[in-house]
A and B are shown apart, each in its own frame.
Chain A
């Protein structure tokens, strides 16, 4: 096997977290190498107009997504079932190549609610220990909102996020989210213009006594130059966001916000078409010596490094940990082991609203992150004592942009083809909106990740196996949200509603797209018995290994995860720079 020259830092995966860690550590003077198994890509030529605004290549044929022929996961609902491969893209959409899922994301840019980072303590303090049901493995994350706040702020400045503050340093501000945790600064850009769905949603929810606010969006509302000097142009609501690369340099991605500056740094290098197989450790398993990857020609290469950073998508980070034998795999029977534990997702209820012919929604216009939302039922913003569930979610009226190949929603009972279908699409296409609730998913003893005993990827490595299903607590919550959605839809003036509300008895359906917000499996925390990484995202077992991504979440929050994922990457990088580099070793004593 060939062995490359050692580097200071090797980064596995080059999406959002890889780009953040790369620029922050390169600016600290380290020699940084990023390994990316996909191709390089940039706005021009890859997402230039009009080539990329093509529903066939991008939405119907998954142009920007991971090719599952090479690698996928297997899924089952319960540990006694046989897991089956996720053969086609459905419920979640892993990205590929430089930029990763940061290219085809929609841009909703939320933070976290402080109580979510200490959810076990919070629930116990407010409702008592017995309120947490048997089998729910709630735990605190080991980090506080106050510690992360400068890094949330930093990531918003980098992304040029559009929004309106509701709480700056404890002062409540009109027009923002009244439930918001204190922010150090206003959003870098003002909110985007409300499309028709969002305007109707804001009016209706206000009249119902709720508190609508403009959803923070990493879609620029104005021209913007970020702290690295990268420039964004204003979003023109083209309607091609989720599934698409941005034609306008408006949606924040590694390409629009970090890479133009990073690529000019002489101490940074990127090697594409390198698929990392494992993290190598010394004979004691205490120090990472580097990684082994397969290059484009199929040859195995060893890359030595002083620091190893796992910055791939959730699935690959967890699988690399399992393949590398770092940390003890979780055993659902005994509850022992940490790796694979607290694997979570999110629940999503999606309701289509059909309006009269004089109400123009124009669903083809929109932006991924634009919308109005309420947090009256987020996290523990509302009293759960009599509700019988833990958790909550955000309810929004977004207008993300939709075209006919992506699917034209129709009222219940409409035919799927023939003249009746034609009449229905013609009548409804311009007059349909959508509201949703995106809800937390608690951690459970029986929901976890491990390696599949049967199925392998194109490199001969076992696939990651997901064991996960919706649980009673979360489905009760979903039913609660179903009622709220129906109430809001009526208040918006919809003549009929159709869609999907998860109810007790429903299983996780992997076919229909829901969100790519899978999380957990290498949970962060204060206790090495229940977490894989410490509060700085440093491996408890191998102190020169840092693991980024939503896989460090201890439970599934209701917000879109990118804002938290980015802030955690900045937080980890800041602590490596300020503390670790001066004195390499564990940043927290176990």
Chain B
């Protein structure tokens, strides 16, 4: 994206954000934003709206990244009248645990150079692994939020966070460090959905609550008597470890 586009998007960003969300900033949030030490954020950032899986300590993500992951999960799948949110079902934990798999180092992708940008139809052409996507993507989004709103993403109001995510999704908020659109749709959103709907053994979908919400019976995998009936299926879900919901 050209620098001119970047300036336009920045003006749009500020205008929309200011109109939507008056900056009701907590003192703690300002302190975190002004600090140059990433480690200080979690202790000083506002508590997330929804309880996380409390005992989990991330292995890959730094505290400041962990705050971003939790905040983004809470907006991408919020707790609301439709059902449980991503944070309460452990989706941040799912994403952190995935960072320890071969996939996170690009181990199931062809990652040899040379790397050239191509038309979108040719798919992923970046040399960034999933781990690098998260490291750079979070840093870039937090930097944009600090630059415009003086706070990292995690410290913004829910409305401001939604606005940032929508602008990334639309392509109107960009970074020179990486394609934020690719980070958002190809990694963050995709992994959030995986964690929310994947088997609970991976760390998300606590108590199969996401399956219950949509009426998915999980791994029951036995529908001979039901397939011809076109009726509501009467049984709750089962997980890979055999737990019933």
Q: Are B189 and A417 in contact (CB under 8 A)?
A: yes
User: Looking at the complex, which one of B78, B199, B217, B233 makes contact with A418 (CB distance below 8 Å)?
Assistant: B78
B residues 181-220 touching A (CB-CB < 8 Å)? 185, 189, 192-194, 197-199, 202, 210-211, 213-217, 219
> Which of the candidate stretches B4-12, B16-24, B110-118, B136-144 sits at the interface with the other chain?
B110-118
Q: Are B240 and A75 in contact (CB under 8 A)?
A: no
Q: Are B82 and A426 in contact (CB under 8 A)?
A: yes
Write the B69-80 contact mask toward A (1 if CB under 8 angstroms, else 0).
000000111101
Q: Which residue of B lies closest to A76 (CB)?
A: B122
Write the A40-62 contact mask toward B (1 if CB under 8 angstroms, else 0).
00000000011101111000111
Q: Are A403 and B216 in contact (CB under 8 A)?
A: yes
Q: Are B193 and A194 in contact (CB under 8 A)?
A: no
Would you call the interface of chain A mostly helix, strand, loop, or mixed?
loop
> Which of the candidate stretches B34-42, B48-56, B222-230 sits at the interface with the other chain?
B222-230
Q: A50-B240, A88-B124, A359-B230 are in contact. Are A422 and B82 (CB under 8 A)?
A: yes
Q: Are A365 and B223 in contact (CB under 8 A)?
A: yes
- Report A-chain residues with C-beta under 8 Å of the C-beta of B121: 77, 507-511
Write the B105-132 contact mask toward A (1 if CB under 8 angstroms, else 0).
0111111101010111111110000000
A501 at the binding interface (Cβ < 8 Å):
no
- Report A-chain residues with C-beta under 8 Å of the C-beta of B76: 417-418
Write the A91-115 contact mask toward B (1 if CB under 8 angstroms, else 0).
0000000000000000000000000
Q: Are A49 and B101 in contact (CB under 8 A)?
A: no
Q: Are B110 and A72 in contact (CB under 8 A)?
A: yes
B33 to chain A, nearest CB (A): 25
Q: Are B169 and A416 in contact (CB under 8 A)?
A: yes
A423 at the binding interface (Cβ < 8 Å):
yes
A356 at the binding interface (Cβ < 8 Å):
no
Give the docked Cα–Cα distance between A507 and B118 (Å). 13
A238 at the binding interface (Cβ < 8 Å):
yes
Q: Are A416 and B189 in contact (CB under 8 A)?
A: yes
Q: A49-B221, A87-B125 are in contact. Are A60 and B110 (CB under 8 A)?
A: no
A90 at the binding interface (Cβ < 8 Å):
yes
User: What is the size category of the interface that chain A forms with chain B?
Assistant: 35 or more
Q: Which residue of B lies closest to A403 (CB)?
A: B216
Give the docked Cα–Cα distance between A416 and B110 (Å). 28
Q: Are A53 and B122 in contact (CB under 8 A)?
A: no
Q: Are B124 and A87 in contact (CB under 8 A)?
A: yes
B83 at the binding interface (Cβ < 8 Å):
yes
Q: A84-B116, A193-B227 are in contact. Are A90 and B214 (CB under 8 A)?
A: no
Given pairs A87-B125, A362-B226, 14 additional interface contacts (CB within 8 A): A49-B219, A56-B198, A69-B108, A88-B109, A199-B228, A236-B223, A238-B223, A360-B231, A361-B230, A404-B193, A404-B211, A416-B169, A417-B165, A421-B77
Question: Which residues of B are in contact with A by a Cβ distance under 8 Å?
Answer: 75-78, 80, 82-83, 101, 103, 106-112, 114, 116, 118-125, 162, 165, 169, 185, 189, 192-194, 197-199, 202, 210-211, 213-217, 219, 221-224, 226-228, 230-233, 240, 242
Q: List 22 A-B contacts (CB under 8 A).
A: A49-B219, A50-B242, A53-B240, A60-B194, A68-B109, A69-B107, A82-B116, A84-B116, A85-B125, A88-B110, A234-B224, A238-B223, A239-B223, A360-B232, A364-B216, A365-B226, A404-B193, A405-B194, A408-B214, A417-B76, A417-B189, A419-B78
